[in-house]
Structure 1
Amino acid sequence: TIRMLRQRRLFMKLSLVLGSLWIYVLLDHPKAAWDPTYRLMYGWLEYTDDDGGPVKVCNCSAILDGEREAREQAKLLTITKDFHKSVQIPDEYYINATQDCRNFKRSRKYLTFPLSQEEEDFPLAYSIVVHHKNFERLLRAIYAPQHFYCIHVDKKSDASVVVYSAWPRVQADLNCIGDLYKISTKWKYFINLCGQDFPLKTNLEIVRMLRSLNGGNSLESERMADAKRSRFSYVHNITNGDIQFTGVLKEPPPFNIQILSGNAYIVVNRGFIRSVLEDKRVLALIEWSKDTYSPDEFLWATIQRLPGVPGSTWPNPKYDMTDMSAIARMVKWVWHEGEEGSEQAVYPECQGDHVRAICVYGAGDLQWLIEQRHLFGNKFDAERDPIAVFCLEKYLRQKALAELR
C-alpha cells in the first residue's frame, strides 16, 4: 500500500542518518565529554515546551505525580481528533529532515556522546523489531553511541516475514543476535525490543541494574501450564499468513529438555547469546521449535534453565521467575488487572485501551509505571495516547541530565 511504502521509505531514511538499517548504529563521540565544564553545555538537550507536542498543553509533572485533574485533562485530550492532528509528526517531516544528518540529530536532540564514563564502559546490544511509527522516539530514548543496534523492519506485506505466534518472530531476533555477536566483543548485555516498547529507566539506571545482576540473566521462566502444552506437542504450520494447528504429534524435545514458559522479551548476558549460537543442545532445540505455536513464549525461558548456559538458573521450581520478577518488560494483561488489595489483581486497571488483551498505556498509567523495577514497558502508542509517550520521554531526558548534576 502507499502507506506501507511511505513507512518503508521513512525507515530507510532514518537508517541513513543513524546508522545501518537491520545491522548496527555506532557513532563516534568526543572524549572531551569528561571535562566537567562540558556539562554546562548539556542544557540544550532537555526537552522543553518549545519542542512542541502534548507537553505544551499538558502538565507532565502533575500527571507523573498522579494528580487527578491533570490525568483527566490528558484523558479528554486523547479523544480529541484536532489534538491528535496537532501533535503527530508526519512521515514527510522525517523524509525531509533527514536530508541533513547533522541538523536532524541536533534538532531531535540525540545524545551523540556518553553521559558518563560508567555508561561508556558498559555498552549494550539491542535488537528491535519495527512495525510502528513509535520507532524513532524509541530509538532516540535508548540511543547512546557506545551501544549497538540491530533493526528488523516488519514489512507487513509478506506473510512469511513476521507472523504473529509463529517462528518468523523468533527468527528476526536470531538474525540480529548473530550480527550483534559478530560485530563487537565489547557489549555486556543483550536486550530485545519491539516498536511499541519504551524505556522506564534512564540509560545509567539500566546499566546499574544490569551490573547488579552479577552476570545473571533476567527473563520470565516458570512451569508450563497444562493448557499451553499443545502449543509445542503438535505440529503447527503457517498457511496464508496464519499459524495453523495440524493435529500431528511432534517428537519429544531433544536431549529430554524440559520446556518452560516465558515470553518473547529478555535481558541476557553475552555468554547466553554465545550458547544460543554454539551450544548443540540449544541449536537442536531451536530447530525442533520451528513448527510450534508461539515458540518465543517458551524458547528463551527453556534455554535459561539449561545447565552450563551462562547466567542460567537451575530447573528446580524454586528458581522459577515470573514476568513481575523479571526486569525485562512490564506488560499489563487485562485478566490480571484489578483494584489494589484484590487477591486476584496483579496490577491496577489500565488507564488506556486494550489491544489483544494487553494494555496500551495511557497517561494515567505513568505514575505507577515509573515506580516499577522493570526496564521497559509494553505497549505504548503515540497515535492512541501521545501524552503518555511525550511525558515519559521528557521525564527520562530530564532525569538523565539531572544525574550529571
Structure 2
Amino acid sequence: MKRLKQRCLLLLKLTAVLASLWMISMLSHPKIGWHPTYILRYSWLEYEDADGSPESVCDCSAILQGDMEAVEQAKLLTITKDFKKSVQIPDEYYIHATKDCGNFKSSRKYLTFPLSQEEEEFPLAYSMVVHHKVQNFERLLRAIYAPQNIYCVHMDNKSEPSVVSAIRGITSCFPNVFMVSQAVNVVYAAWPRVQADLNCMTDLYNASTRWKYFINLCGQDFPLKTNLEIVQALRSLKGSNSLESEKMPPEKKWRVSNAHQIVDGQIQAAGRAKMPPPFNLPIVSGNAYIVVNRGYIRSVLEDNRIQALIEWAKDTYSPDEFLWATIQRMPGVPGSLWPNPKYDMTDINAIARLVKWQWHEGPLGSMQAVYPECHGTHVRAICVYGAGDLQWMLNQHHLFANKFDTDIDPIAIYCLEKYLRQKALAELH
C-alpha cells in the first residue's frame, strides 16, 4: 500500500511538471496554442501517398537518399506515356475547383495559419511572373504559401485564356495573393521581363508596410527550404541582400554597349551604340533572381540615380541580368555591397537561386565541375531537374531552385513538396 501511494504521488508530480511545461509553451507561443495534441490535430496537412496522387508509386524516401534503383524507376516512369498523362491537371480543374475556395484550400492542403510566431513576425513579399503551366504555378504557390506573407502574380498579357482564368481563380481564394495592377507583354531577354517585376514591386510596396524581404520567382521555381528556414536564413543576413553580382565578363559587354529594340515580339539589335551609363555607374553581371530587403525596393522605386539607370537600361539586351546586380553595388542602397571586385558574389555563394548551367556540370568527383551532371534535361542550357538531382539540391544553401517542370519530371516536384511539408510540420515540435 505504501509503495502504491508513492507511485501515485510520483505520477501526480509528473503530471504537474507536464502541465507546467505545457503552460510555459502556451505562454511562449500565445498565437498558435502549442497543445501536446497540436501535431496530431494537424497531421492531415501532410501529403500522404493515400491522397491518390499518381506520383505516389515512387519511393520518395529512397530517392531523397540517393538510391539509384529508386531514381532509375522514377526516370522510367517519367517517359511512360500513360503516367505522364495521369499526372497532368488541366486548367479546367482549377477554374472549377476555385469556385468553392474553402474546399479548394482544404483539399489542396494549404496552410491557412502561421506555423510559428517567428514566421508570423517576419512576413515576406513575393513577385511571381508566370505565363503558362498552371499546375507548376499552383504547386509552387502551395509550397510557399503562408497567411502572413504577401504575393503579387504577374500574368503575361499573351497568356492563353484558360491559363488566365485558372490563375485568377486561384488568386481569388486568398486575401494576400493578388494579380499585378498593370501587366505587360513579357519578351524574353528584353526590358518587359524587368518591368513585370518592377510593377509587382510597386504593388507589394504599397500594399503592406510589414514585410521584411522581397523574393522574385517564376513559374518554374520551387523552394528548397521551409518557410521557417527561409525566415531564419533571411534573419541571418541582418539586413543585407543576397544575389549574384560580379564583374561583367568581356563576352557579355555587347549587351549593354549596343542598343536593342523589340520587333514583332522579339528583341534585336537596333544598329547603334549606347551612351555610357548615368553617373558613370559600373555595370556588373548578375541574374534575374534576387533576395533583397524592403529598403532596397524603396531605393528602386524612389532613388533618382536608379531611376536614371532604369531609363538607360530599357534598350539593353537581357537587362534583368545586370540591373539588380548593379543596384546592389550602389553606395547608399540598403543592404548593398561596395563596388570593389573583392565584394563580388557568384550565384553559388548567393542564396537567391540554385541553377545548374550545362557548361558548369561534370561527373562526380571532377575538380573542374561546379556541380554534378543534370538528372533531367536541358532547356536553353539550364537543367530542368529530375528526381536524381534532389539529394544534392537539398544539401545546398539556396532558398529556391530553377527549373522544375511537371511535363518533364513531376516526381521531382512531388518528392520535394512532400519532403518540405513533412519538415514544416515536424518543426512544430
Please report the TM-score for the alignment, with normalisation by the length of structure 1: 0.90
Alignment partner of 1:268 is 2:270: no
Q: CA deviation at 1:91?
A: 1.9
Q: Is the 8 A contact 1:54 1:386 kept in 2?
A: no
Shift of 1:247: 2.5
Are the equivalent residues in 1 in contact too, given 2:126–2:151 (CA < 8 A)? yes
Residues 63-113 of structure 1, C-alpha deviations (whole Å, 9 max, x = no match):
000001100000000000101111222222212211211011000000000
Q: 2:304, 2:280 → 1: CA distance? A: 13
Match of 2:156 in 1: 154
Aligned equivalents of 2:106 and 2:320: distance in 1? 38
Corresponding residue number in structure 2 for 1:219 = 243
Q: CA offset at residue 56 of structure 1?
A: 1.9
Q: Residues of 2 paired with 1:393 and 1:70: CA distance?
A: 18
Given residue 288 of structure 2, which amino acid in structure 1 is its aligned partner? A
Matched, 1:332 2:332: no
Distance 2:244 2:306 in 1: 18
User: One-letter code of the match for 1:110?
Assistant: Y
After superposition, residues 326-405 of structure 1 pair within 5 angstroms as: 326-405=350-429
Which residue of 2 is the match for residue 33 of structure 1?
32
CA contact (8 A) 1:128 1:195 kept: yes
Question: SS at the partner of 1:235?
Answer: strand
Deviations 1:126-146 (Å, cap 9, x if unpaired)? 000012220000000000000
Greater alpha carbon shift after TM alignment, 200-209 vs 128-137: 128-137
Note if 1:323 corresponds to 2:347: yes
Q: By how many angstroms is 1:32 displaced? A: 5.3
Q: Out of 69-78 and 95-104, give the one that drifted further.
A: 95-104
Amino acid at match of 1:33: I
Letter in 2 for 1:293: Y
Q: Check the 8 A contact 2:55/2:87 in 1, yes or no.
A: no
Counting only pairs closer than 5 Å after superposition, residues 35-54 of structure 1 correspond to structure 2 as 35-36=34-35, 37-54=37-54
1-structure distance, mates of 2:54, 2:389 = 16
For 2:26, the equivalent position in structure 1 comes to none
Residue 53 of structure 1, CA deviation: 2.2
Residue of 262, 272, 286 corresponding to 1:238: 262
The one-letter code sitting in structure 2 at the alignment partner of 1:379 is K
Distance (Å, rounded) in 1 between the aligned partners of 2:64 and 2:378: 21
Q: Please state whether the residue corresponding to 1:248 is helix, strand or coil.
A: strand
Q: Could you tell me which amino acid in structure 1 is paired with residue 412 of structure 2?
A: A
Deviations 1:138-166 (A, max 9, x none): 00000000001000012436996000000
Conservation of the 8 A alpha-carbon contact between 2:247 and 2:285 = yes
Q: CA deviation at 1:52?
A: 2.3
Q: Check 1:375–1:157 CA distance in 2 against 1; reply closer, same or farther (3 A cut).
A: closer
Structure 1 CA distance for aligned equivalents of residues 333 and 214 of structure 2? 15
Structure 1 residues 235-244 or 91-100, which shifts more?
91-100
Please name the residue that 2:233 is paired with.
209
Q: Distance in 2 between matches of 1:331 and 1:54?
A: 27
Q: Using the alignment, how far apart are the partners of 1:160 and 1:121 within structure 2?
A: 33
Distance change >3 Å, CA 119–CA 224, structure 1 → 2: same
2:80 pairs with 1:80 = yes
TM-score by length of 2: 0.85
Match of 1:57 in 2: 57
Identical positions, percent:
75
Structure-2 separation of matches of 1:400 and 1:320: 33
Q: Identify the residue that residue 22 of structure 1 maps to in structure 2.
A: none
- Match for 2:139 among 124, 137, 140? 137
Find the residue that maps to 2:283 and give its secondary structure. Answer: coil
- Aligned-partner SS, 2:259: strand
User: CA separation in 2, counterparts of 1:160 and 1:128?
Assistant: 13
Number of residue equivalences = 376
- Larger Cα Rg: Structure 1 or Structure 2? 2
Offset, 1:40 = 3.1
CA-CA distance at 1:34 after TM superposition: 2.8
Q: Which moved more, 1:79-88 or 1:106-115?
A: 79-88
The CA distance in 1 between the partners of 2:113 and 2:140, in whole Å, is: 18
State the distance in 1 between where 2:274 and 2:295 align: 30
Which runs of no fewer than 5 residues in structure 2 stay unpaired? 1-29, 161-182
2:328 is the alignment partner of 1:283? no
